[in-house]
Amino acid sequence: MLVGDDPAARRALAQAWYDEALEQLQRGAIDDGRSRLIDAVELSPDFAPARDALAVLFLAEGRIDEALTQLEWAIHADPEQSLYHYHQALAHIAAGETGFATPALNRALELAPDSIAIRRTLLDVYMILGRWDRAERLLVELRDAGSTDPTLQYVDGVISFAKERLEDAERQLRNAARTLKDDPAPYAALGLLYQITGKFDLAEKSYKQALKLDNRDPYIYLVLADLYHQTGKLSAADRFLRRTAAATPLASRLPQPELARVYAQIADVAYQTGKYRTSQVYQKRAMQMLPALQKTTITPDAAAHFALGTVAFEREDVDRAINEFKIAVRANADFALAWARLADAMLLKAGLSSLDARKKLLTNARKAARKAQEAAPKHALGYYVEGRVLIALADLEKGALRSGTLREAVFLFQQARNAQEAPKDIGIYQAMILSDLASHAEAANALSQAEAELGKSRQVALLKATALIEAGKFPEAHKAIVSAWKIAPDEPALGELMSLVLFKMGDIETSLAALNWTPESKTPLPGIDFEPPEPESESADKKSGS
């Protein structure tokens, strides 16, 4: 069937291929269904249902980046479809980008306010992020909406536990355990509650019940090992720690810092029981889970506290993270990675503190970053963290003092770039500072370097376009905006940027069209086909050459 350039005919054929693909997928012909969906989106790129179905398939196959790309296309083609935003949130959750899932879920909920499934997923996200007040409000909304989901009893208990209503938490988790008879989660949560409150016998009983319901979950091994380690039952702790470490491929479910913590605890148990060679072996394994910054030998105790601090930091328990990192550096003064992470944690806490406390925390964070540099002068992390601390300090300063601090930060980021294992987002930080200092051309150069290191991204493309506009390089800015539109056609800021560039280059009519453009219009960004005039120097060269 020949469809030529007729959009209606192409869409009709894409719909037929989409229907055929769904039938193939339902029969279990996954490869054929995938191939047909790809045919459909290649034939009609704005056919959103095929994009969404392909994204769901990619998500099931673990191809998360490809799923997110398809969903961006689907949302651009049909931004009012709640399901596409919901699937985008699920893809972000699968990628470990839980924070990015929240706006997608909120948008999905705006479009489908009666959806219990979206509210339930949003509740899980709030719990993962530790936003307990929002989670509790959403739990009430779910019940008011008529949800009969029995797992909400468990959610009740977890929220009460997190908000330190321990008696309520115990009652709710017990009810959940009775209702969800085959689910280990309420028993594991009860075990943690009892462990924290010092009821170790009840904690062990609850953990063992969880283990009875799922004897393959490494997290249950880990909490039991923690309990036995805490209560001095080192042989039992060693047994469950080894089971956690050996639970492959399930061990892949443990984040690397968590697995490092397991190895560090095995090393600590072995050290306490006089098995020094075993302790050394597992200490090395713990360090292999960590970045290459730390090359020096550290004690098992320092490794364990570092791993605990890393886990706390990832869970945004900043106070505990700071405490664990401090213990680690007291045990090993040359533990460069722990110093750097201590500075990171203090920087995060400073952003949540009052003005007086913020300045003190930032000063101490800078000292910790300097310690990291002393311990590992050839590694990037210490310079990188100090540069970020200086950006925060500059926000508390004015005038020449502020400019001087920012210039020092630029220098530190350059040192980090020239050191080992430099983070790839250094160029973005440099560009933000240089733009603040009105060095827009330098900022654009830094962003070009960041683009080469990070690849094409929405953030870098927009920052680069803005920097080039501020530098007065309008033809280059036009090129950057076109590049940004190809990456993120749903970015509303592009219309205003394009309008400004076209106005500066004399195309007033298209400039007005770009100013009124929105992604919802489902039309190309006005001005993407505009041919900027050649820079004067290049035109002169061509004339002299002719």
385-432, pLDDT tens digit by residue? 999 999 888 888 887 888 888 888 888 888 887 877 777 777 777 777
Task: Determine, yes or no, domain membership for 411.
Answer: no
What pLDDT is stored for residue 257 in this prediction? 53
Q: Are 173 and 193 in contact (CB under 8 A)?
A: yes
Domain boundary at 88, 121, 149, which? Answer: 149
Structural tokens at position 129: 């992020």
Positive or negative CA dihedral for 306, 312, 315, 319?
negative
Domain boundary at 375, 406, 437, which? Answer: 406
What pLDDT is stored for residue 19 in this prediction? 93
* Residue type present at position 46: D
Task: Determine, yes or no, domain membership for 226.
Answer: no
* Residue type present at position 9: A
Q: Are 223 and 192 in contact (CB under 8 A)?
A: yes
Weakest mean pLDDT among 23-32, 43-52, 296-305, 512-521 = 296-305
Does 48 score more than 90 pLDDT? yes
What pLDDT is stored for residue 85 in this prediction? 94
Task: Determine, yes or no, domain membership for 81.
Answer: yes
Maximum CA pair distance of the chain? 92
Does 302 score more than 70 pLDDT? yes
Task: Determine, yes or no, domain membership for 466.
Answer: no
Task: Determine, yes or no, domain membership for 496.
Answer: no
Task: Determine, yes or no, domain membership for 24.
Answer: yes
Does 186 score more than 80 pLDDT? yes
Does 353 score more than 80 pLDDT? yes
* Residue type present at position 82: S
**Mean pLDDT score of the chain, rounded to an integer?**
82
Q: Which long-range contacts (CB under 8 A, 24 or more apart) does 478-481 make?
A: 478/502, 478/505, 478/527, 478/530, 478/532, 479/532, 481/525, 481/527
Contact partners, residue 326, CB within 8 Å, separation at least 6: 342
Q: Are 445 and 458 in contact (CB under 8 A)?
A: no
Find the CATH number of the domain harbouring 24. 1.25.40.10
Number of domains in the chain: 2
* Phi, psi (deg, nearest 5) at residue 97: -100, 65
What pLDDT is stored for residue 489 in this prediction? 82
Residue range of the domain that includes 359: 290-406
Whether a cis peptide bond, with omega within 30° of 0, leads into 79 is: no
Q: Which range, 21-25, 95-99, 127-131, 252-256, is most confident?
A: 21-25
Q: What is the secondary structure of 461-517 as a DSSP string?
A: HHHHHHHHHHTT-HHHHHHHHHHHHHH-TT-THHHHHHHHHHHHTT-HHHHHHHHT-
Q: Which range, 1-5, 445-449, 525-529, is most confident?
A: 525-529
* Phi, psi (deg, nearest 5) at residue 379: -100, 150
Structural tokens at position 313: 């930091």
Beta strands in 348-413 (DSSP E): none
Neighbours of 217 (CB within 10 A): 19
Structural tokens at position 323: 């405490």
Does 254 score more than 60 pLDDT? no
Does 542 score more than 50 pLDDT? no
Q: Which range, 49-53, 353-357, 528-532, is most confident?
A: 49-53
What pLDDT is stored for residue 250 in this prediction? 39
Give the mean model confidence (pLDDT) for residues 314-320. Answer: 80
Which of these, 281, 301, 294, 366, lies nearest to 336 by C-alpha position? 294
Domain boundary at 387, 406, 425, which? Answer: 406
Task: Determine, yes or no, domain membership for 324.
Answer: yes
Task: Determine, yes or no, domain membership for 448.
Answer: no
Q: What is the secondary structure of 437-474 as a DSSP string?
A: TT-HHHHHHHHHHHHHHH-S-HHHHHHHHHHHHHTT-H
Q: How confident is the model at residue 456 (pLDDT cuts 50, 70, 90)?
A: low
